[in-house]
Structure 1
């Protein structure tokens, strides 16, 4: 049993969590599930990931990988072979589009196609200014206290 959740109260009381709320809302929508082509997502190290997708029958020229901000798209488009007459066609050769939502600062670092297996390597690279840093504590004299200045004088109502 699937219930639809209303996230509108969270939108009213949170600031800066738009992407997370949109992801939760999108995940709660009922979509048709297409399991082709099959794929695995593997954590291959600290902040490193790999998507392995079975694309048997597709050549490198028939596959396209695109990263658009936080979305990764993998497209497969078979070239038309009109002159071939199949007696039995058991190898799927239909076009596909697979999308993956990426977290902040996750970038594609490489892709390869070997023996019908497309691998896409991803790496989470946090910018230096966003990494935790240690603040040095100085010894010696304390910093001088600054006086608090009053900006407005006492006003009386007219």
Structure 2
């Protein structure tokens, strides 16, 4: 099921946003399919986030967390306990896989399992080259002086080379 909104005009006029539009168009499919385990998304501050999943009954050995290429995958696999003879089994023993899409520059820093809650800490680390920086406005005379100076150095270097030859 695709979104009711048509992204075609935006796809034609933007470059590099294909992944974003695919996520928006297919978001209706993913919302209904994953309901277990329940989770909270918490923004700790501007660059720190936490995902808390309710994984009661799972031990550290039964949970696997994988971060790969803008995606965080949390899986839980319960070991079958054939030695126990259940009269009634009301606690679910089901496996799960929960996927979270991560934005660029989001890194998983820590994970902790306490009191049935799995907490995964995330941080946004923007490289220095990608951070906004202030550009000073220079006068045209300053720029022209720099250009004239560079030209003068080139002329002097060429004259020096012809004298040496």
Q: Same fold (TM over 0.5)?
A: yes
Residue in structure 2 matched with residue 74 of structure 1 by the alignment: 74
Q: Residue 144 of structure 2 aligns to a residue in which SS?
A: coil
**Residue 37 to residue 29, structure 1, CA distance change in 2 (3 Å):** closer
Aligned to 1:102: 102
Q: Which residue of 2 is the match for residue 151 of structure 1?
A: none
Greater helix proportion: 2
Tell me the matched-pair count: 145
Moved over 4 A (4+): 136-139
Q: Supply the distance in 1 between the matched residues of 2:116 and 2:24 (Cα, whole angstroms).
A: 33
Q: CA deviation at 1:93?
A: 1.8
> Any gaps of 5 or more consecutive residues in structure 1?
148-158
- Matched residues in 1 for 2:35 and 2:24: separation? 21
Partner of 1:19: 19
Can you list the C-alpha shifts for 1:75-117, whole angstroms capped at 9, x where unaligned?
Answer: 0001111121111212222000000001111110000001111
Question: Given that residues 111 and 121 in structure 2 are in contact (C-alpha distance below 8 angstroms), is that contact kept between their aligned partners in structure 1?
Answer: yes
Which residue matches 1:47?
A: 47
Structural RMSD (CA): 2.4
Q: Please give the alpha-carbon distance, in whole angstroms, between the structure 2 residues aligned to 1:90 and 1:47.
A: 40
Confirm or deny: 8 A CA contact 1:4 1:28 kept in the other structure.
no
Q: TM-score scaled to structure 2, two decimals?
A: 0.78
